[in-house]
Structure 1
Amino acid sequence: MAVGVLIGPPSAAAPGDDGPELDLGKAKVQWIDRTTVAWPEKLGDPQDTHRLVASPEGELKIEDGALEGRGEDLALEPVPGGLTDAQRAKYPHLAKGYEAYRLAEQEQEQDTGALRAALRGQVVAVAGKDELSAATGVQTPGVLDDLYAARATRAELGPVFEKDRTTLALWAPTARRVAVEIGGKKIPMRRDDASGVWRAHGPWKGEEYRYRVTVFAPSVGKTVTNEVTDPYATALTADSRRSVAADLRDARLKPAGWDRLAKPAARPAREARIQELHVRDFSAHDPTNRHPGTYRAFTDTRSDGMRHLRKLARAGTSYVHLLPAFDFATVPERRADQQRPGCDLASYAPDSARQQECVGKTAGKDAFNWGYDPAHYTVPEGSYASDPQGPSRTREFREMVGGLNRAGLRAVMDVVYNHTAASGQDPQSVLDRIVPGYYHRLTADGTVADSTCCANTAPEHAMMGKLTVDSVVTWARDYKIDGFRFDLMGHHPKANILAVRRALDALTPEKDGVDGKSVILYGEGWNFGEVADDARFEQATQRNMAGTGVATFSDRARDAVRGGAPFDEDPRVQGFASGLWNEPNGSPANGTRAEQRARLLHYQDLIKVGLTGNLADFAFTDSRGRRVRGRDVDYNGRPAGYAAAPGDALAYADAHDNETLYDALAFKLPGSANAGERGRMQVLGMATALLSQGPSLSQAGTDLLRSKSLDRNSFDSGDWFNALNWDCRRGNGFGRGLPPAADNEPKWAYAKPLLTNPRLTPGCREIEGTSSAYRDLLRIRATEPAFSLATAEEVQREVAFPLSGEGETPGVITAQVGDLVLVLNASPKTTEQRVPGLAERRYELHPAQKNGSDPTARRASYKSGTFTVPGRTVAVFKHR
């Protein structure tokens, strides 16, 4: 390697260009393995000499069109034919538009130690010698994985405990120096050159610490020393200022009976009936709970919230899905630091803008956030603990899991490994201040991708993939979490999610205290952003995850039930459960009467596919009389059916994202519909998900007609708009004011007259009636095996839609499910569904409804092949 001072005259423009592209603030060249560099075809003059330049102290810069600073040349040679087929397969986004260069033979002959040394500083790529035609930074995750991943992925990182000895281990292959501040001292750490892991040892159990990492940071173009917490931390001080070397096996961190905790019986994932719940929402507005807004609220067995959860569990709910409860960035963790709105919010009118204005002044500084802004993936969030400083987070999180388990519910955790709260040198950035440019996915010019809303991580890189797996295993093993919901799972490689599955499957009761095979996995398999259509790897999307045992949320039936799509400009677009054609609301967005009828029938086909578990190959007659399979039914240009087996698709009608089901129906049902009618349509909407094959999910409070006052994105709307009332006398949350302007103002014109319409304000009769009717259906779902079929073949054999075809009734779906007949009547009128093939069979209303709480459903009847069902009613009949 030649060493010299690279100072030259300003570069001339490359032929045909406006001028040379010289910008070290970008990183357009990608070093993908120890021998290969991918170079954009249009970057610089292809006739120029190409090389990498490495500066140990980060001295390189562009001045007057020239590269200045001391560095070492790594000569490059063009590769005829470009990247190999294997390299194109590994990096499909580089398959077109990039030339390949290899390190010159004399560089390849060097020991890889020289390459490792070069990567521990600034690396730039230049074209030209005396005159530069291009200069840019270099993306290095590929070569870092090639050099280090084999050893580093086997390393145990974070604090590791053995008797009285604690080892702190940090992966920082590009760092110049690493020290740990602990016990009032600054202790240098020792680097393992083969893995890039730095270690230090001492009697540090329970000690606070942080790392000092000296590293070149491309985001600021210089070498910095960052004081940073441990990404593998097991505990933190308040507001995540320092890590704590906490041994999760320590008896002091375990609530009484933790090691002997009895769990509800595990069931196959396809039978999961899930209640999605935010930790703070659960109890912040519950005056009967002694620990409002905290993990310990789930231990207060006499509170209204826990009483309601036990009712749901007895009826058939099997899991509570907790929105993010790992350490997130946006809530002050100490009670004294949390601000509160300084207004009398209850005094304002139901349609006032004052509430959202007042709440907005404390957003980001109050106690509320959904938590989709990770800071540390494997430490409980401190704001939910009675004391964020010390062991309370760990012990009280475990108390919450125990409280749910004793109530008959298993616990699912919402995990967000697809992005971080910040990147670069931001104080909230952790990973990127340790290995800059590695843990995040970079775009073609080297900026951090943000299609997920924040700084996208790159689980396709070996050590981000390892962090994901290791973190999930810790939650499952050390916190006894029973399931994981992956936020924006489509931004993960399929291989990464399957690696999580394998790691969980390896956990055994004998060795680890938990049965990892019983842990369920599901996630958002959406396909968008820079990774869309497998642009960078095979994604964990709906289609790709079919057959893996990892479920994906299905938006097909959800949209058909509600109507339109979540981001419609006019929120009054109607669907199956919101009055399309049968009860038009007058919006021109619904089209003509003929168009409404045609769309309603198509929605019914989407719901039929949903009732089968979204099976791609399920064959049935559609509403136009054609014999089709699930994959043939159109969903916005994509196949409605994508699942290979029941359990691949998770059914739902609402979740924390977008309006609650009640609020969606508030926009869509005609204004003349009263609260009782709205409650009945709410049950109908929930039933389409609950009575589908495979797992189903509902948002907490949906059975209680929960409203967020029409807020479609309440992630930072405070306790006021997110209030969850377990006592019907406190209302359902509707009419708390116009929702926050940032995400809802375009809909204010539609929202304002609704918020003052008394027909939309339910009382105890409607709230309790809806909840009781839903629990009747839960009992049916939980006790009838026909709703939990194990294979696609069984579903094809046992499920049918006997009245589907050109003559089917708009607004009514009739399904045979084994020995059951299900009728979903979304019309306001009583329907008679005659099934000639069943005329000789005897049916009666299912006992759960015949002896149930809904007097309207009790009027459903059967005679000689005809099923009679009142309007706005779900009825299940059982063969006698």
Structure 2
Amino acid sequence: MDLSRQRAHWIDRSTLVWRFEGPVGDRRCDLVWSPDAALRIIDGALAGPHETVSLRVKPGGLTTAQRRQWPHLADHAAFTVEADEDTIKRALRSQVVVSARDDGGWLLVATGVQLPGVLDDVYADAVHADLGCRFHHDGGVTISVWAPTAREVALEWDNGEILGMWRDDHTGVWRVDGDWGWTGRRYRFRVQAYHPATQRIETMSVTDPYAVALTADSTHSIVANLLDPLLIPADWGTLRKPPPISAARAQVHEVSVRDFSIYDSSVPAERRGTFAAFATPNSTGMRHLRRLADAGVTHLHLLPAFDFATVPDLRADQLQPEGDLAALPPDSTEQQERIDAVRARDGYNWGYDPLHYSVPEGSYSTEPDGPRRITEFREMVAALNGIGLRVVMDVVYNHTVAGGVNHHAVLDRIVPGYYHRLLADGRVADSTCCANTAPEHAMMGKLVVDSVLRWAVDYKVDGFRFDLMGHHPKDNMLAVRAALDRLTPQRDGVDGRAILIYGEGWDFGEVGGNQRFVQASQLQLAGTGIGTFNDRLRDAVRGGQAFETNPRSQGYATGLFTDPNGDEVNGPPEHRRARLLFQQDLIKIGLTGNLASFSFVASSGATVTGGEFYYNGARAGYCALPGECVTYVDAHDNEILFDTLAFKLPAGIAPLDRARMQVVALSFTVLSQGMGFVAAGSERLRSKSLDRNSFDSGDWFNGIRWDATAGNGFGLGLPPAWDNGDKWPFAAPLLADPTLVPGADLMEWTTERYLELLRIRRDSPLFGLPTAVEVQDRLSFPLSGPTETPGVITMHLTGVDDLIVIFNATPATVTQKLPALRFGTFALHPHQRAGGDAHLLQSVFDPATGVFTVPSRTVAVFTGSL
């Protein structure tokens, strides 16, 4: 018997489920609660003042509907709770326990109770409540918080003044009313409630989970009206968005706010690493983004830019590593040691540790203490829109940085035990790395939708990338999509239908395999228009898989079979050709937008669809619409593309040829159907000195160095031991090799090749076809099958003018014969001809034979007709 665990589940007002050993019928079970949290087990008996309701066994167990809603509880014994609503609400504001006794009254077992289900049932109308600060046209202000299990809630001003709040017993919402004179005042809620983490009645001082403004380091919420003219930049109301673009046509660049400008000497020092850097129009970084936007990048994806917990907001409080890191050897361990010494208090973190979901991050503001972060975020959006880029926010609603009574636990100190997903014994699940939230619970699902709408309407954000989206119910993501679709320019100032949604559709953890609900995972979002990252193409292009131990496993663009690196991780030589052709099949499916329905001839010789082709036991093709596929070969996670190539390509390949292989890999993000996605800087050979997980590695390993004469970030020392130590034997000799550091001219050469590909996509409707039917009709791989050239993929797109795209990842010039195109008028695409790359200009078509010739390590696009 252990009251510190919660092994029973009160799923609605009349039903409780509980799994325990032995027969149920010979036990007397009770629901027990103590308003003062006085229950204890003493000498095998339940002691302390309490109230009790008898539980009656439900012979048939859960109903079909209940099993559908609670699949992970389907095999539990079910009991009927016979109590009126007032009694239930009184119990819910107490310590709640269930007990089982034998016929003689002897206590057999007792455990705590998980309450989210019954809270959602009893307080169902709370989903319609307005929470946080609400300003009224008559000059009034209401501050509200949902805290149905609290005994008392009060408003604390930062001067110590306490205002009582009144409870709406129907919704469980507590309110206090004031006037606009409260604007700018700093507050917290004082919540008195039973907390299962401590098994006590706790009095907790906590910020507002619906806060719209915060003090530095998020110590207090601030009363603020986002419609206040003082918080609205000039021309915000008449901001002109770039033209709407479908997901199938989108090209996304991913960057951290801090990475973008922290080393940009053209940005004033106080603005570096902040939102304000994007509003510095003539900076080196913004000029580069303008080049990308002009060529065809449509969206800038920002790593988490909401309020997160792990960075001091004030620059004066942020520690710096000691000494001159640039003076240390390129393969030294000292750089990462010095960063390790300060990383808990430096200015760097990716930000996947949410604190307040709907407030811009303070450390990214030039004035974190107050509302300046609001105006600077808006100015950033306006500046990016002004150069033709829409803005995507990386949102992390799947977990919070902490739970329990931790000072960073906002949600769990408001409604203890509700907002997080609990395991069978009541512990908070942490499969996402932190305290997992539970968007399947009504008010957490509401928080997700409300927060997204806040960013969409009040900050005019153009897209959302959901971190670990597979931990959300599909229904929650559909609710987000529906809420956005209802936004109109006339009423809301934005066109919600033009807002992108995509995310990580991974299937794992306590929700894996739909254990608790139908997940928003890769295989279950077909037809929704919500995008997921295509790891199939990524792995085929790069080689290996995420989190691999040996980084030398090769793929299509890293030399498998065609440029062997000699490592046994790549398997016996006689198997490598077949493995490469299998990878080419995966890439072809990816080129279609990873469509489940697309039919083609595989390397086996069989005609298959994407959904009939399998990778790691799962369907390779799973999308119903091309725009549901996010095609990528690198992102903030795992090694950036340059570092991947450094690990995998054989030694001795010339820097220019490495750059060509980088372009080959990037080409799939541009020339595929569906959305393309690139980690910022990969177009200019950016490196993180082989760091595979740089979330806490400081500016040194992460910051983009816009001055190309300073190098690309390679050879900055061995990457941090805490996430890369197992790869040091592979990394050290590479970092010590000065020939792997590209010169400024090669970085610019690579950028130009990438821009050429973007312009080709931008100018042709054949890239970004809207439907699976059009893709099947217009796209083909004419040389697919067992005789296809290893390392070469030929793609044919038909339209007013046909396009032939030949991806040659081999170290030799290749010929591809397409007899059906004899006597055609095909020539290298004008954008590639205009680039003047002498090597690429060797790409030619012979109309007499129908033979296309493409030089080594090159992607050539031909345009023409028969």
Q: How does 1:418-433 map to 2 (within 5 A)?
A: 418-433=398-413
- Per the TM alignment, residue 445 of structure 1 is displaced from its structure 2 partner at its CA by 0.6
Give the match for residue 121 of structure 2.
146
Give the match for residue 854 of structure 2.
869
Give the match for residue 398 of structure 1.
378
The reply to whether residue 76 of structure 1 matches residue 55 of structure 2 is yes
Q: Distance in 1 between matches of 2:621 and 2:61?
A: 39
**Aligned residues of 2:367 and 2:373 also touching (Cα < 8 A):** yes
Give the match for residue 194 of structure 1.
170
Q: Distance in 1 between matches of 2:839 and 2:452?
A: 46
- Per the TM alignment, residue 45 of structure 1 is displaced from its structure 2 partner at its CA by 6.4
Q: Distance in 2 between matches of 1:823 and 1:438?
A: 54
Q: How many residues align?
A: 852
Gaps of 5+ in 2: none
**Deviation by residue 1:546-601 (Cα, 9 ceiling, x = unmatched):** 11011111100000000011222211000000000011001000011121111100
Q: How does 1:429-578 map to 2 (within 5 A)?
A: 429-578=409-558
Give the match for residue 54 of structure 1.
33
Give the match for residue 253 of structure 2.
275
Q: Which amino acid in the other structure matches residue 639 of structure 1?
A: R
**Aligned residues of 2:148 and 2:173 also touching (Cα < 8 A):** yes
Q: How does 1:331-342 map to 2 (within 5 A)?
A: 331-342=311-322
**Deviation by residue 1:483-523 (Cα, 9 ceiling, x = unmatched):** 00000000000100110111111111111111111111101
Q: Distance in 2 between matches of 1:94 and 1:114?
A: 25
Q: How does 1:781-820 map to 2 (within 5 A)?
A: 781-818=761-798, 819-820=802-803
- Per the TM alignment, residue 758 of structure 1 is displaced from its structure 2 partner at its CA by 2.4
Q: Among residues 19, 43, 64, which one is paired with 1:85 in the alignment? A: 64
- Per the TM alignment, residue 44 of structure 1 is displaced from its structure 2 partner at its CA by 8.6
Q: Which amino acid in the other structure matches residue 785 of structure 1?
A: P
Q: Distance in 2 between matches of 1:308 and 1:518?
A: 25
DSSP 3-state at the match of 2:175: strand
The reply to whether residue 254 of structure 1 matches residue 232 of structure 2 is yes
**Aligned residues of 1:308 and 1:726 also touching (Cα < 8 A):** no
**Aligned residues of 1:43 and 1:134 also touching (Cα < 8 A):** no
Q: Among residues 169, 177, 182, which one is paired with 2:157 in the alignment? A: 182
Q: Among residues 201, 209, 212, which one is paired with 2:187 in the alignment? A: 209
Q: Distance in 1 between matches of 2:502 and 2:45?
A: 52
Q: Distance in 2 between matches of 1:556 and 1:697?
A: 14
- Per the TM alignment, residue 727 of structure 1 is displaced from its structure 2 partner at its CA by 2.6
DSSP 3-state at the match of 1:59: coil
Give the match for residue 235 of structure 1.
213
Q: Which amino acid in the other structure matches residue 866 of structure 1?
A: V
The reply to whether residue 858 of structure 1 matches residue 834 of structure 2 is no
Q: Which amino acid in the other structure matches residue 221 of structure 2?
A: S
Q: Which amino acid in the other structure matches residue 851 of structure 1?
A: A
Q: Distance in 2 between matches of 1:652 and 1:569?
A: 21
Q: Distance in 2 between matches of 1:136 and 1:650?
A: 46
Q: Among residues 11, 25, 28, which one is paired with 1:32 in the alignment? A: 11
Q: Among residues 675, 679, 683, which one is paired with 1:695 in the alignment? A: 675
Q: Distance in 2 between matches of 1:343 and 1:464?
A: 46
Q: Among residues 110, 114, 122, which one is paired with 2:95 in the alignment? A: 122
Give the match for residue 15 of structure 1.
none
- Per the TM alignment, residue 39 of structure 1 is displaced from its structure 2 partner at its CA by 0.7
**Deviation by residue 1:337-365 (Cα, 9 ceiling, x = unmatched):** 10000122111111111111110111121
Q: Distance in 1 between matches of 2:376 and 2:41?
A: 54
Q: Among residues 141, 144, 159, which one is paired with 1:169 in the alignment? A: 144
DSSP 3-state at the match of 1:560: helix
The reply to whether residue 65 of structure 1 matches residue 36 of structure 2 is no
Q: Distance in 2 between matches of 1:679 and 1:311?
A: 20
Q: Among residues 693, 698, 706, which one is paired with 1:713 in the alignment? A: 693
Q: Distance in 1 between matches of 2:241 and 2:324?
A: 44
The reply to whether residue 593 of structure 1 matches residue 569 of structure 2 is no
Q: Among residues 51, 74, 97, which one is paired with 1:95 in the alignment? A: 74
**Aligned residues of 2:261 and 2:703 also touching (Cα < 8 A):** no
Q: Distance in 1 between matches of 2:379 and 2:837?
A: 37
**Aligned residues of 1:773 and 1:853 also touching (Cα < 8 A):** no
- Per the TM alignment, residue 689 of structure 1 is displaced from its structure 2 partner at its CA by 1.8
**Deviation by residue 1:308-358 (Cα, 9 ceiling, x = unmatched):** 000000000000000000000000001111000012211111111111111
DSSP 3-state at the match of 1:647: helix
Q: Distance in 2 between matches of 1:650 and 1:72?
A: 55
- Per the TM alignment, residue 206 of structure 1 is displaced from its structure 2 partner at its CA by 2.2
- Per the TM alignment, residue 67 of structure 1 is displaced from its structure 2 partner at its CA by 1.3
Q: Distance in 1 between matches of 2:23 and 2:61?
A: 17
The reply to whether residue 413 of structure 1 matches residue 393 of structure 2 is yes
The reply to whether residue 159 of structure 1 matches residue 133 of structure 2 is yes
- Sequence identity (%): 55
Q: Distance in 1 between matches of 2:770 and 2:140?
A: 49
Q: Distance in 1 between matches of 2:165 and 2:62?
A: 38
Q: How does 1:257-336 map to 2 (within 5 A)?
A: 257-290=235-268, 291-336=271-316
DSSP 3-state at the match of 2:6: coil
Q: Which amino acid in the other structure matches residue 172 of structure 1?
A: A
Q: Among residues 835, 842, 849, which one is paired with 2:825 in the alignment? A: 842
Q: Distance in 2 between matches of 1:51 and 1:853?
A: 82
- Per the TM alignment, residue 43 of structure 1 is displaced from its structure 2 partner at its CA by 7.5
- Per the TM alignment, residue 46 of structure 1 is displaced from its structure 2 partner at its CA by 5.5
Q: Distance in 2 between matches of 1:856 and 1:74?
A: 82
Q: Distance in 2 between matches of 1:625 and 1:683?
A: 30
Q: Distance in 2 between matches of 1:379 and 1:494?
A: 25
- Per the TM alignment, residue 853 of structure 1 is displaced from its structure 2 partner at its CA by 4.5
Q: Which amino acid in the other structure matches residue 561 of structure 1?
A: V
Q: Which amino acid in the other structure matches residue 202 of structure 1?
A: G
**Aligned residues of 2:337 and 2:720 also touching (Cα < 8 A):** yes
**Aligned residues of 1:560 and 1:606 also touching (Cα < 8 A):** yes
**Aligned residues of 2:25 and 2:57 also touching (Cα < 8 A):** no
Q: Which amino acid in the other structure matches residue 267 of structure 2?
A: N
**Deviation by residue 1:455-485 (Cα, 9 ceiling, x = unmatched):** 0000000000000000000000000100000
Q: Distance in 1 between matches of 2:79 and 2:24?
A: 14
Q: Distance in 2 between matches of 1:33 and 1:854?
A: 68
- Normalised by the length of structure 2, the TM-score is 0.97
Bigger mean CA offset, 628-637 vs 433-442: 628-637
